[in-house]
Amino acid sequence: MPLFVSDGLDSYGVALLDRYHVTLTYPPTGRRGRPRCPEKRPLPELRYAQVVKKREGRRLVSVTKKIVYGDPQSIASKDICTSLIERLNLTLRRENATLQRKALSFAKDQNEFNAHLAFQIAYYHLVRPHLSLREEIPATSDKKPVRRWKRRTPAMAAKITDHVWSLRELLTFRPYITSTN
Amino acid sequence: MVMGLRGPKPRTSDIACVNEACANYNKPGTQSIVCNGTYPTRSGRVHKYVCRSCGAVFCGRQGTAFYDIRSPEDKVILALKLILQGLSLRAVSNVLGVKLDTVRQWLARSARHAEQVNEVLIKEIKVNRLELDELWSFVRKKNFRGWQKARKQRMGNVGSGSLLHQNID
């Protein structure tokens, strides 16, 4: 199971506990009164940590890393970080007119917004090369490579495809073909 | 051998029957699909296929985002590329000289297709770390603009001095 990391919003902890838990029931005591309610205990392999930011007005006062579920020994402090998803959010916001702040191009219809986002995410996975995923093409002694870097998409990094897709490829890919390898 | 006017024969190993009642529905590579002529569109000739096991005839665009779209494919792709660069749908419709509803429909169809592709390919990915976050969106969110409400309450409905300000608020 992966390590889950989020910001300080508690909903993720609730949802994760709901999904990965064992129910602890207390045996009847034989005495009078209402029996104790069964409790949800997180599975031992569930690891979840939060980056909690404290703000005063607009100023960021402190950043604390909080381990909610899981053994603190097994979670490295540098892994508790949400910068990758925040960067993804920024990319989505920059390249989607419906997500621009204080603009009139916001979506007027929820379904249309969902469709726009789904299309954008498929494009992000398969078509759009990700700069930090690029690989250096090794130079051989006799020949210098024409390009220094090989562009890669997130799908290539996850070994789902072996090349950068074109948009036409995404639009004409038949979804009943379940593997591209 | 000289290739005919219609170019090379398309590969049928990737094509599956589109008839839901057929035994080979959505199963590519069953040898039951054969070519059945072509027809002209604005972006070249599109192949037709026939399923030998159920007799269904369908075109090569079925199962892709271009099915039943009359505009040239390049125009649709250009529109989608503009959308993916962050242009609004209305801007795209103005640039390409098509109706706003047309752009909407192109996006909706491509999105439906992309969603299916996502569903099929992007699953069961092994990762060590999963970051969770939410994204604020602006669909029917006028009532959530608390700062504006607070400002109106603070200043009354008069605005902060000029008529222009009042209009903006």
**CB proximity A60 to B under 8 Å:** no
What is the pLDDT confidence band of residue A181, given thresholds at 50, 70 and 90? low
B31 phi-psi bin (left φ>0, alpha ψ -120 to 50, beta other): left
d(CA A155, CA A45): 27
Q: Note the pLDDT of residue B7.
A: 67
What's the CA gap between B125 and A123, in Å, rounded?
17
Asked if A10 is an interface residue toward chain B (Cβ–Cβ < 8 A), one would say no
Under the banding of pLDDT at 50, 70 and 90, the label for residue B166 is: very low
pLDDT band at residue B169, thresholds of 50, 70 and 90? very low
**A118 chain-B contacts, CB cut-off 8 A:** 111, 114-115, 118
Chain region(s) in chain B for CATH 2.20.25:
8-63
Q: What is the reported pLDDT for B167?
A: 36
Chain A residues within an 8 Å CB radius of B81: 167
Q: Taking Cα atoms as reference points, which of A23, A114, A31, A156 lies closest to residue B125?
A: A156
For residues B150 and A134, the model is more confident at: A134
According to DSSP, the residues that pair with A53 across neighbouring strands are: A63
Of the candidate CATH numbers 2.60.40, 2.40.10, 2.20.25, 3.40.91, the domain formed by B8-63 belongs to 2.20.25
Whether B158 shows a pLDDT value over 70: the answer reads no
A81 to chain B: which residues are within 8 Å by CB?
131
Angle at alpha carbon of residue A66, lines to A62 and A69, rounded to 5°: 165
Collapsed DSSP state (helix, strand, coil) of residue A63: strand
CA distance B96 to B75: 8
Domain boundaries, chain A: 3-81, 97-172
- Whole-angstrom distance, CA of residue A12 vs CA of residue A17: 8
DSSP string, A132-157: GG-EEPPPPSS---S-SEE---HHHH
The CATH fold assigned to B65-120 is Arc Repressor Mutant, subunit A (1.10.10)
8 Å CB contact between A168 and B77? yes
Interface contact A22, partner B, CB < 8 A:
no
CATH 1.10.10 boundaries in chain B? 65-120
A137 to chain B, closest Cα gap in Å: 25
Q: The pTM is what?
A: 0.84
Position B131, amino acid: E
CA dihedral of residues A97, A99, A100, A106 (deg, nearest 10)? 70
Q: φ and ψ at B8, to 5 degrees?
A: -70, 150
Dihedral over Cα of B40, B43, B45, B48: its sign:
negative
Over range B11-31, report the average pLDDT. 86
Whether pLDDT at B128 is above 60: yes
pLDDT band at A65; cut points 50, 70, 90? very high
Measured between beta carbons, the chain B residues lying within 8 angstroms of A158 are 122, 125
- Inter-chain residue contact A170 with B117, CB threshold 8 Å: yes
d(CA A149, CA A67): 38
Per-residue pLDDT at B90: 95
ipTM: 0.86
Q: Are B118 and A161 in contact (CB under 8 A)?
A: no
Whole-angstrom Cα distance, residue B12 to residue B35? 8
Contact B112 A89 (CB under 8 A): no
CA distance readout (Å), A162 to A56, A79, A134, A151, A154: 48, 28, 13, 11, 11
